[in-house]
Structure 1
Amino acid sequence: MPYTIAMVSDFFYPQPGGVESHIYQLSTKLIDRGHKVIIITHAYQGRTGIRYLTNGLKVYHVPFFVIYLQTTFPTVFSFFPMFRNIIIREQVEIVHGHASLSNFCHEAILHARTMGLRTVFTDHSLFGFADAASILTNKLLKFALSDVDHVICVSHTCKENTVLRASLDPLMVSVIPNAVVAENFRPLAKDEPIATPRQPSSGALSPQRPLPLETVTIVVISRLFYNKGIDLLIAAIPRLCAAYPYARFIIAGSGPKAIDLEQMIERNVLQDRVEMLGAIRHEEVRDVMVRGHIYLHPSLTEAFGTVIVEAASCGLYVVCTRVGGIPEVLPLHMTRFAKPEEDDIVAQAGSAIAAMRAGRIRTERFHEQVRMMYSWTDVAERTERVYDGIAGVLSEEEFYGCVEGEEVAGEVGGSSSVVRGRSGVANFALIDRLKRYYGCGVWAGKLFCICVVVDYLLYVVLEFIFPRANIDVVRDWPRKKAIDETDETEKLGEEKTWIT
C-alpha cells in the first residue's frame, strides 16, 4: 500500500552526518518502492524554499532561526501554520521524525497528531540520565513520544535506552539498523592511484595490498567533539607513534577539538606522522578511507556507528570502543574492541598495527560480507512494515504479537494499562491524548496538557482562517508505471515497456 510520508528533522543535507545520510537513503528507497516522500528541514546557508533532489525527492527548507549545531529555536506553535500548509499541499498521511535533539521533529509529531495523522519517530542517539542536559532532553522526549504511534531505534542498545528515557512500552519500539551503499565504499582498485579527497577514483576491486606493510596508516573520520572520544585520540596518538615508528595517521573532520589536535601535533612534532584534512564531503569519505589500513573509532557513546560499516566495506580493519550499540554492528573478525580508556585503546590499536604489518589480518572479503549484511532496501522494507502496522494494514497479532484490542501494559503517560486502537495505535480523541500527556509528571504533565490544548485551539483557528479548500494540492512527481498486462503490446508477446 503506497503512503505519502513526510520526513522531518533539523538535520539534513548539505550538512554531513549519519542522521542526514539515513534520512536521504531511506527516503530514496521508499520512493523506489512506490511511496511519495518529502523532507521538511530548516533553511541552510544558500538553501531556502523548495529543492528537488535525485529521484524526485522534494525538500522543504523552512526559514527558521538556528541556535546551536544546526538545531532550530524551539517555538512549539509558530511552526504549525507552515507545517499545516505543507501537509495539506502534499496530502501527507504519515509524519516520520528523526533525532532526539531535533526541535522540528518533536514539534511536527505534536502538530501531526493534532491534525489526525499517524506518526513515527526514529532515535539515532544515546543519552544518559544524570546530567542536567540529559534530564531536560529525556523529559522533552517523553512529551513528544507520549502520543506517537511507533518508535524505531537503530540498535538494541538504543532501544533499551529510548524505552527507559521515554517510559515506552517495548512493544511500541522496533529495531531497524542503519545501512551502507556498499558500491560507494569499495576497497582500493587494482592499479588505482590513491586519490586525494578532491580527486575521486574508480576501478575494479583489487586484492589485498602486498604484505608485509612498510607503513600502516590509521584513519579517523569523525566530528571532532568530546563525545566522539577525541580526548582519548589526542592522548593515544603520541604513544602509538612512539611505539610504532611505521604508523601514520589521517584525521578528517571538524569541530571544537580540532585546536587540541593541532596543539598535540605541534607539541610532539608529529607533522610528518599525522595528517589533518579538516571537514570533507560525504562523497570524499571513501577516497580518504582507502588510503589507510586500520580505522580507529574511539567514541565514548554511539547508538550504531555507520562510519565503521563504511570503513569495513572499504577493506579496513576496525579498532573501536565497546560502547553503546557498536558491538552489534560488525562480526568479531572485522573488529577489535577496546575499553573507552587511553591505555586499552593504545594496547588494542598497537596490537592491530603489529598484526596488520605482519600480514596476520586479511581484509579481502570484508566488502562482500558488508554488502550482504547491510542494505538500504532491507531497511526500507522493514520501515514500510512499520507504516503498515500503524495504518492498520497489519493486524495486532501480526505487528505487535498480541491479540487485537488487548490492553497493553506500561502505556506511556501512566502506570495503568490503556486500551489502544486498532494495531495498538493511540486514537486521536483529545481527551485520550490529554490522559497520556497528564501522566508525564506532576508539573510537566499539566504543562504538556496545556500545550496540547493550545495546539488544538490553534488548529481550529487555522482551519477557520485558512480553509483547506483554499490550499492548492501540488502535483506529484511523475512516476514510472508498468503497462497493464492486458495491453496490446503484451497480447502480441512483446517485451513489457515502461511509460511515464
Structure 2
Amino acid sequence: MPYNIAMISDFFFPQPGGIESHIYQLSTKLIDRGHKVIIITHAYAGRTGVRYLTNGLKVYHVPFFVIYRETTFPTVFSFFPIFRNIIIREQIEIVHGHASLSSLCHEAILHARTMGLRTVFTDHSLFGFADAASILTNKLLKFTLSDVDHVICVSHTCKENTVLRASLDPLMVSVIPNAVVAENFRPLSYTSNEHSNSVVSPTESNHRGGPPLAHRFGPHDTITIVVISRLFYNKGTDLLIAAIPRILASHPNVRFIIAGSGPKAIDLEQMLERNVLQDRVSLLGPVRHEEVRGVMVRGHIYLHPSLTEAFGTVIVEAASCGLYVVCTRVGGIPEVLPGYMTEFAKPEEDDLVAATGRAIARLRQGKVRTEFFHNQVKQMYSWTDVAQRTERVYDGISGVLPHDEFYPGTGVGAGGGWSATRGRAGVQSFALIERLKRYYGCGIWAGKLFCLCVIVDYLLFVFLEIFAPRARIDLARNWPKKSSDAGKENERDGDLAMKDAGGVGRKRGARHHREKRREA
C-alpha cells in the first residue's frame, strides 16, 4: 500500500556525502514505487523554503541556525510548530529520520510520536563508548530510539554498534545496506560481456579461451592512486598524510589525486611543501557528487584510510569505476566488497603503506581483473532492492505485515521491553503512559529528564491543536503522476504543479482569461 513519508535529516543536497545520496536515491525509488515522499532539512546558502527536485521530490529547507558540520542547533521544542504544519499539509503517515548527529532527526522523531505517527530511524555511522562526545551522543540516541517503531542500519557491524549504544532489542533493528547507481560510475573502457559475472584468474582465462589477460603495467608505467574524502580526523586524513611520502618514496612511478575539503586540508598542504611532492600529488579541493566519477576514472587504485566507517559507499563507487580498492579493515567496510576487489590494511601507517605496495604489485603483475568490477558491483547493489526492503519495514510498523512474519520466530510480547509495549500487530503503542514508561527506563536522572521533555512536548501539541487547529492548514497538492491513459492531460497538470510551486501557474491564469473573454 502507498504511504506518505517524510525523510528528515540535517544532511542533504547541495552538500555532498553518503547520507545525502542515500536519502535522495531512496526517496526517488520510493516515489517510483507509488509512495509520496518529502524531505525536511535545514536551509543552505541560497536554498530556503520549498524546492522541487526531479521526479516530484519536494524539499523543505527550514531556516535554522547551523552550528557544526551542517548540524543545526538543538532547540527541542521550537521546531514543533513548523514540523506539525508541514506534516499536516503533506498528510504524512511515516517519519523516517537519518543520522545520529542530526538534531532535526531526533526532534522530528519525538514530535512525530507525540502526533501519533509511525517512525523509522536509519543509522549511518559508528560511535565509541569512552569519550565525552560519544557518551552524550549515545544517551541522546537512547532517548530517541526508546520510542521509535523500527531501526535500520547500513551494515551488520553498524547494527551491533547501534544495539549496544541505545540498548535496543536486536529484533527491532534491520540491516539494509547502501547502494550505488552503477550506470553513473562506469569505467572509461566499459564493455558488457558474458564473462563479467564470474571471477576468472589470468591462467584459467588462457586455458579455456576466455577474455584476454588483465592489463599489465610495466615497471615504468605510472599508476595513479585516487583519494576522495572529507578531510577530517575520523576519515583517516592524518594516516594518509603520514603514508603518502613513504608510498611515493618506495614507488617512483606512482601519483596521487586527492579530492575533498575539511579542517585537515592545511596539514595535507604543509606535508606536500615539506616533502616537495607538489608535482606528484594533485589536490583538487571539494568536488560535487556528479564530478566524482570523472576523478575516479583518472586512477587505477582507490585508497580509503578511514578510521571508522559504517559502510563506505565511496569504495563501491570506486570499484564500479574499475579501481582496485585499498582500505582499512574497520567497521562495516569488510562487508561491502568481496576480497578479490580489495586489499585490506590495519588502521596503522606501516600496514597501510604495505597494503598499498601489495596493490601496486598486483596491478603490475596483471593479477587483478578490474575490467569486470563494474558489472559485478551492478549485480550486488541496487537502490530498487533497498527501496523494496525499506517498504517492507514500513509495512511491518504499520501492521500490514503480521507480527510473526515481520519478526519471524517470535511471539507477541517476546523480546524484552520493546515487544512488551506492542499490540497484536506488533506495533509500538502511542499511549502517553506507555511512552513515559519507556523513557523512564533510560537512566536514574536521564529518565526523569526525558519524561519531562515528553510531557512538555505533549502539552505543546495540545496547545497547538487548540490555537492552531488543523482546519486552518491548507493541504498541499500532490505531485501528479503520469499514466499511459492520461496522456497530455496529466502532462499539462504536472507542468501546472511545477509552476504553482512559486505562485499561480501562468497556464492556469491564461486559461482563466480565455474563459473570461468567452463570457464577455
Corresponding residue number in structure 2 for 1:274: 281
Residue identity matched to 2:466: F
The SS at the match of 1:135 is helix
User: Does residue 409 in structure 1 map to residue 415 in structure 2?
Assistant: yes
Superposition deviation, residue 34 in structure 1: 0.2
Match of 1:452 among 447, 454, 464: 454
1:292 is matched with 299
- In 2, the alpha carbon distance for the partners of 1:357 and 1:27 equals 42
Contact 1:320 1:336 survives alignment (8 Å): yes
Contact residue 214 and residue 366 of structure 2 kept, 8 A: no
In 2, distance between residues paired with 1:360 and 1:231? 30
Is residue 240–residue 350 contact of structure 1 (8 Å, CA) maintained in 2? yes
| Distance in structure 1 (CA, Å) of the matches to 2:212 and 2:173 | 42
1:373-384 map, 5 Å? 373-384=380-391
Structure 1: 5+ residue stretches without partners: 192-205, 485-495
How far apart, CA to CA, are the structure 1 residues paired with 2:108 and 2:179?
A: 26
- Distance change >3 Å, CA 58–CA 208, structure 1 → 2: farther
Indicate the residue corresponding to 1:202 in structure 2.
none
Residue matched to 2:135: 135
Q: How many residues align?
A: 470
SS of corresponding position for 1:151: strand
Contact 1:208 1:364 in 2 (8 A): no
- Mapped contact 1:251–1:276 kept (Cα < 8 A): yes
Structure 1 equivalent of residue 86 of structure 2: 86
Does residue 165 of structure 1 match 2:165? yes
1:352 paired with 2:359, answer yes
5 Å-filtered alignment, 1:381-460, equals 381-402=388-409, 406-411=412-417, 418-460=420-462
Structure 1 residues 86 and 190, CA, compared in 2 at 3 Å: closer, same or farther? Answer: closer
Q: Equivalent residue for 1:201?
A: none
CA distance in 1, matches of 2:222, 2:425: 58
Q: Secondary structure at the match of 2:120?
A: strand
Structure 1 residue aligned with 2:343: 336
8 Å CA contact 2:421–2:429 kept in 1: the answer is: no
Contact 1:11 1:41 (C-alpha < 8 Å) held by counterparts: yes
Q: State how far apart, in whole Å, the 1-side matches of 2:470 and 2:12 are.
A: 29
What letter corresponds to residue 479 of structure 2 in structure 1? Answer: W
> Is the CA contact 2:231–2:261 (under 8 Å) kept in the aligned structure 1?
yes
1:420 to partner: Cα distance: 1.1
- Matched-pair identity in %: 79
CA RMSD of aligned residues (A): 1.8
Residues 29-108 of structure 1: pairs in structure 2 closer than 5 A: 29-108=29-108
Partners in 1 of 2:489 and 2:326 — Cα distance?
A: 48
Alignment correspondent of 1:175? 175
On the 8 A contact 2:421/2:434 being kept in 1, the answer is no
CA contact (8 A) 2:125 2:310 kept: yes
Following the alignment from structure 1 to structure 2, what is the Cα–Cα distance between the partners of residues 472 and 253? 43
Distance 2:394 2:310 in 1: 23
**2:12 aligned partner, one-letter code:** F
Q: How does 1:355-374 map to 2 (within 5 A)?
A: 355-374=362-381
Q: Does 1:467 align with 2:469?
A: yes
Q: CA deviation at 1:424?
A: 2.4
Are 2:440 and 2:447, in contact at CA under 8 Å, matched by a contact in 1?
yes
Output the CA distance in 1 between the equivalents of 2:420 and 2:472.
39
CA offsets per residue over residues 4-27 of structure 1, 9 Å max, x none?
000000000000000000000000
Deviation for aligned residue 1:240: 0.6
Equivalent residue letter for 1:154: V
Structure-2 separation of matches of 1:401 and 1:283: 41
- Contact kept? 2:480, 2:490, Cα under 8 Å: no
2:9 and 2:308 mapped to 1: Cα distance? Answer: 21
1:287 and 1:408 mapped to 2: Cα distance?
51
Corresponding residue SS for 1:424:
coil
Matched, 1:211 2:208: no
Contact 2:214/2:367 (8 A) holds in 1: no
Structure-2 separation of matches of 1:76 and 1:94: 20
Q: Secondary structure at the match of 2:429?
A: coil
Q: 1:336 to 1:362 in 2, by over 3 A?
A: same
| 2:64 alignment partner, SS class | coil
Q: Secondary structure of the residue that 1:96 maps to in structure 2?
A: strand
Q: Deviations over 1:207-264 (max 9, x none)?
A: 9985325001000000000101111111111001010001110000000111111111
Q: Aligned letter for 1:346?
A: V
C-alpha deviations, 1:469-491, integer Å up to 9, x for none?
Answer: 1100011000123549xxxxxxx
Structure with the largest fraction of helix:
2
Deviation at 1:351, TM superposition (A): 1.0
Determine the C-alpha separation between the residues in 2 that align with 1:375 and 1:57: 20
CA change 1:120–1:289 in 2 (3 A) is same
Q: Map of 1:177-256 to 2, 5 A cutoff?
A: 177-189=177-189, 210-213=215-218, 214-256=221-263
Instruction: State how far apart, in whole Å, the 2-side matches of 1:371 and 1:360 are.
Output: 22
How much does 1:35 deviate? Answer: 0.2
